[in-house]
Structure 1
Amino acid sequence: MSSQIRENLQKFFVLGVSYRKTALDVRGRFSLTQMDQEALLRDAKEYGVEGLIVLSTCNRTEIYAHTSDMDLVTKLFLSYCKGNEKDFRYNGYTIQGSDCIKHLYQVCSGIDSQIVGDFQIVGQVKNAYQLSENYQMINSFLNRLFSFVFKASKKIKNETELSRGAASVSHAAVQYIKDKVADLESANFLLFGTGEIGKDTCSNLVKHMANRSLTLVNRNVEKAEALAKKFDINYRAMSHLTEEVKKAEVIIVATGAPHPTLMVEHFEGITECKLILDLSVPRNVDTAIDSLENVLVISVDELSEHTSEAMQQRLTCIPQAEEIIDDSIREFYGWLEVTFLSPVIVALKDNLNKIRDKELEYHRAKMSDDELKRVEKITSNLMNKIARACISHLKDHHKTQSSPMETLNMIFQESETK
């Protein structure tokens, strides 16, 4: 790999926090709302950052960038989250170059997910990519890299068992309920929030409840109504939240807000036992609720430890997925080399054709039409063979030479001395 390509790779980095190093409350401080993400992208564009993608999920908040100014991207990130520079130095990470590319592949394949093989991450990354594209923050490097990554993720999903079986945050929530709630078919459930995780949880819950005793509450009542009609269940407006909290034995919170949405005030006068599953990051269940008698609050991190046998089966598929990733990375590096060499290859072909055309023009008057056609065909084949040989030499020599033009000059000098 040439020095120029290595320099280009070093411009690609990710900075962020994830479940691997950071507790739930700390991840919440670095979580970015949709508005924060859009504002960050606008600022990055204004400051001349070449390419940038913002990913914020319950497991991680990461900024992928292709630029020489890592300090600027770090400052922009910290300006939109509640965590400060000291928090980030202690809890965060920065990965650069080839290591960053490998990390991106592992994230998008589900290998680096809190629940291994959770394929929801692919949709989240695609949404992040689309948002950056809307703000014209996808340069050619990011465009081609993420294209390779999405293709590899699809191949891993289709050709391995990494994402087979039920093992996701929403499934872990339902599995926990099944294991802990004795009267599952008669219990009353409340699902607060109908985003992507809320929808998945709703679907999984309905599969295991014969009496459909599930009520949806959402800030946007139209969305709750649409989901309720799909599964033939009940829905209520936000104004009825306290009433529904009182009725439910199991409450699932998936509001995805940057602040608590289920408050201790919603439990005034309630003495019955309640199981609350908070699927949001940062926490959307008021921490004061944790101290209420007869109320058990379970967080995302606790749910991730409660998975089925599918998890163990998935772990055995990681080596196969890693092979697909390694193959795709090699293809991407090949694309980088061809892209870097393409101007030289075009110049080479142009120079060869000019030499051919000049010679043909010089001898044109001395040949008949039939002779000229044969000579044109012969010289065309000859030029193509020379071009292919030179291009092959360029690609091989480029791995050690710092300058493709130096390699091109060397080829022609060698030809002149022979």
Structure 2
Amino acid sequence: MTEDNVHISPFYAISISYEKAHTEIRGKYTFFSHNIEDFAREIRENNLGFCFIISTCNRTEIYAQTPNLDAIINLFCEYVNGDKDEFMKYIDIYENTSAINHLFRVSAGLESQILGDFEIVGQLKIWFKKFKKHKLTNAYLEKLLNTSLSISKNIKHKTALSNGAASVSYAAVNYILQNIDKSQHYNIVLLGIGKIGQNTCENLVKHTENTNITLINRTPEKAEKLAQKFWVQHKEFSELKTTLAHTDILIVATSSDKPIINAESIDKDKTMIIIDLSVPSNVSPELKNYSNITLLNVDDLSKMIDETLEMRTLEIPKAEAIIDKYTEELSEWEETRKLAPAIVAFKEDLLRLNHHNFNDLRKNNPTLNGKETLLSEKLVQKITNRFADYIISNPDKKAVAIDIMKEIPLALWQAEKVAENLSTLGHQSQIVPIISEGDKNLKVPIYELGITGVFTKDLDIALLNEKIDLAVHSLKDIPTRLPENIFISAVLERDFPEDVLVRNPKAKNKNYNDMHIGTGSLRRQCFWKNAYPNATFGNIRGNVQTRLQKLESENFDGVIFSLAGIKRMEMNIDYEYLSFITPAPAQGVVACCSLQNNKEINSILAQINHSETAQATKVERDFLQTLEGGCSAPI
């Protein structure tokens, strides 16, 4: 099953834990890592999707994105040699949102036997890595895991859910930390290294900086082995009394049926803390009668643990709020994934159109480089990324967005350029495509549309309605008289202001005076007619790619372009400079318009304004306004 197909499969969490199953039952359904390879192979062969399993002493969890949950459960029971009917009695099954919430709660320590115990997080990472090695995870499961790890980290840092001592071994160490001068190095003796003793030793090493730790055990080999693991000292049991003469803190974790530490074992005049972790007590209660000795037992530590758990319980709402926040973000990410096919299809269409146009042109133009395309791959990716950002934010406008993207990639390039300039200064922006009347009506010459600001009016309305903060235009398309409260707040440095001609290969030797030229600009026609009176003209509109297609399909000898458009689209085509055509005022300049009363936006835009270009284009536009020039009366 491919990852794209499996994305539509439900996500499940199957849990067997201490809450329903006692130790013996949990042991029967423990999954061992040596089974992962064969288990993974059968999952793949049977097209059962993706999953990972985690097994600890307190729980076994199966997290699966699968079209067939029953088959996953059957396979699991087969590998643990368990009975499915029995297994079903003890498990909880969660689906989709509930399954995600369960995973997040497990990683947060909210489902741990000891509330707030984050030890499960390390296990999650270890087990996931094992299943990933055998290609049984996918991007979706990895996203869930990484989110759960972020949740765990966030809760640990922003709540007190894991604060305090919640086990007797840690409670003992925590008491020491809170009741001694940390700057002093005390001699600590740990007597007995069973399970509790081992945990206590690990906590001592992990949470204290004390290097004067000595292990003593009736079986010296065990003490020696543990001492080597944690880089601490060890001594023979026969040395206990002489060692205690120099001990400041004694922790007893033995399992004797009667006290082994009494008044005869220690120097009664020495100040000492004694912590008895044994049940029954292995330290004689008579030692409480000595004022220089502080004696704590399991009951004393349990009171501390109860206080900790009570405090942790109060932190649950905070932890759940963090989970809710991440769950909402995950939901947004999932919606984005649903749009992925549309985004990929758009990019493929754009690339296909790009290569198709190029191949059509290349048939009759051998000068074109076969390794180049009309749009660079880099630019296609930029367009696609911006398209994706927009439809993710506005999924209800997806169809309109696609139409816009196909028609005005140059406008998008201009917006991207402004966004890059703002980003360099630390200002983030979102590009909102708005299709103008000039881009909607591609059949009528601009000068016949009968309105001023044909390329800017729709963006002006969006500005005045405060749907956008700034509008990006080619400065030559902006009328010299702007609506009230709208002004040109910044211009980028001018580049490539010239007009150029791209010839039809069939007319490569034709004289300018005999050519049939494609252009929707009355200004360009006037300049050409003045220099070559016998030339004829036909209307041609659309983006650069569309006009190149029409160059041949509508039998033009040549089409006039702005050089800036060709350069900005990174196109590899031959062109000729037209020195007899004076560029339009402000041609080759990208401009930003904003509301005059939006001081915050205007102060930001002032930072990207190119002053030299701004001064020059002001003179050009003032000249144009004085003579009342425009599309229908070109200057």
When normalised by structure 2's length, the TM-score is 0.42
- What SS does structure 1 have at the residue aligned with 2:16? strand
CA distance 1:319–1:273, change in 2 (3 Å): same
| Paired amino acid for 1:45 | R
Higher helix share: 1
CA distance 1:295–1:72, change in 2 (3 Å): farther
CA distance 1:41–1:62, change in 2 (3 Å): farther
1:328 & 1:353 partners in 2: Cα distance?
36
- What SS does structure 2 have at the residue aligned with 1:61? strand
CA distance 1:295–1:385, change in 2 (3 Å): closer
> Deviations along 1:287-306, whole A, 9 cap, x unmatched?
xxxxxx9799xxxxxx9998
Residue matched to 2:123: 124
| Paired amino acid for 2:58 | N
- What SS does structure 1 have at the residue aligned with 2:112? coil
- What SS does structure 1 have at the residue aligned with 2:328? helix
**C-alpha displacement at 1:115, in angstroms?**
1.0
Select the residue among 315, 327, 330 that pairs with 1:329. 327
| Paired amino acid for 1:232 | Q
1:186 & 1:356 partners in 2: Cα distance?
76
CA distance 1:57–1:207, change in 2 (3 Å): farther
CA distance 1:55–1:222, change in 2 (3 Å): farther
> Deviations along 1:95-149, whole A, 9 cap, x unmatched?
1211010000000011111111111111111111122223222212111211121
In 1, are the aligned partners of 2:7 and 2:140 still within 8 Å (CA)? no
2:192 & 2:208 partners in 1: Cα distance?
12
Residue matched to 2:39: 43
Residue matched to 2:104: 105
**C-alpha displacement at 1:196, in angstroms?**
9.2
| Paired amino acid for 1:136 | K
**C-alpha displacement at 1:157, in angstroms?**
1.2
1:187 & 1:294 partners in 2: Cα distance?
20
CA distance 1:60–1:304, change in 2 (3 Å): farther
> Deviations along 1:165-190, whole A, 9 cap, x unmatched?
222575368799xxxxxxxx999732
Residue matched to 2:20: 21
CA distance 1:352–1:187, change in 2 (3 Å): closer
- What SS does structure 1 have at the residue aligned with 2:193? strand
Residue matched to 2:228: 226
Any residues of structure 2 matched to 1:14-413 within 5 Å, and which? 14-32=13-31, 36-48=32-44, 49-81=48-80, 83-168=82-167, 170-171=169-170, 189-192=191-194, 200=202, 203=205, 212=214, 214-215=216-217, 224-228=226-230, 230-234=231-235, 250-251=253-254, 272=258, 307-349=305-347, 351=349, 388=387, 391-392=390-391, 396-397=395-396
| Paired amino acid for 2:40 | A
**C-alpha displacement at 1:57, in angstroms?**
1.6
1:115 & 1:20 partners in 2: Cα distance?
12
In 1, are the aligned partners of 2:40 and 2:134 still within 8 Å (CA)? no
- What SS does structure 1 have at the residue aligned with 2:136? coil
1:91 & 1:336 partners in 2: Cα distance?
31
**C-alpha displacement at 1:16, in angstroms?**
2.7
2:236 & 2:124 partners in 1: Cα distance?
30
**C-alpha displacement at 1:80, in angstroms?**
3.8
Gaps of 5+ in 1: 177-184, 237-247, 253-269, 275-292, 297-302, 363-375, 399-403
**C-alpha displacement at 1:84, in angstroms?**
2.4
2:402 & 2:302 partners in 1: Cα distance?
56
In 1, are the aligned partners of 2:6 and 2:49 still within 8 Å (CA)? no
When normalised by structure 1's length, the TM-score is 0.60
- CA RMSD in angstroms comes to 5.3
- What SS does structure 1 have at the residue aligned with 2:192? strand
In 2, are the aligned partners of 1:40 and 1:80 still within 8 Å (CA)? no
2:281 & 2:38 partners in 1: Cα distance?
43
2:302 & 2:280 partners in 1: Cα distance?
23
CA distance 1:168–1:194, change in 2 (3 Å): closer
Larger relative contact order (C-alpha < 8 A, sep ≥ 6)? 1
**C-alpha displacement at 1:356, in angstroms?**
8.8
In 2, are the aligned partners of 1:173 and 1:201 still within 8 Å (CA)? no
In 2, are the aligned partners of 1:170 and 1:204 still within 8 Å (CA)? no
| Paired amino acid for 2:91 | G
CA distance 1:351–1:163, change in 2 (3 Å): same
Structure number with larger C-alpha Rg: 2
2:385 & 2:24 partners in 1: Cα distance?
64
| Paired amino acid for 2:41 | K
Q: What percent identity do the matched residue pairs reach?
A: 27
Higher deviation after alignment, 105-114 or 186-195: 186-195
- What SS does structure 1 have at the residue aligned with 2:12? strand
1:354 & 1:295 partners in 2: Cα distance?
80
**C-alpha displacement at 1:68, in angstroms?**
1.8
2:146 & 2:213 partners in 1: Cα distance?
44
In 2, are the aligned partners of 1:51 and 1:66 still within 8 Å (CA)? yes
In 1, are the aligned partners of 2:190 and 2:201 still within 8 Å (CA)? no
> Deviations along 1:209-248, whole A, 9 cap, x unmatched?
x9845449799998534235x2323599xxxxxxxxxxx9
**C-alpha displacement at 1:53, in angstroms?**
1.8
| Paired amino acid for 1:250 | A
**C-alpha displacement at 1:394, in angstroms?**
8.3
> Deviations along 1:64-91, whole A, 9 cap, x unmatched?
1222222222123223436522322222
In 1, are the aligned partners of 2:30 and 2:55 still within 8 Å (CA)? yes
CA distance 1:46–1:155, change in 2 (3 Å): same
- What SS does structure 2 have at the residue aligned with 1:152? helix
- What SS does structure 1 have at the residue aligned with 2:117? coil
In 2, are the aligned partners of 1:108 and 1:153 still within 8 Å (CA)? yes
**C-alpha displacement at 1:39, in angstroms?**
0.5
In 2, are the aligned partners of 1:273 and 1:295 still within 8 Å (CA)? yes
| Paired amino acid for 2:84 | E
Count of residues in Structure 1 that have an aligned counterpart in Structure 2: 331
1:51 & 1:216 partners in 2: Cα distance?
50
**C-alpha displacement at 1:60, in angstroms?**
1.0
CA distance 1:70–1:195, change in 2 (3 Å): farther
In 2, are the aligned partners of 1:191 and 1:217 still within 8 Å (CA)? no
2:132 & 2:392 partners in 1: Cα distance?
37
1:232 & 1:56 partners in 2: Cα distance?
34
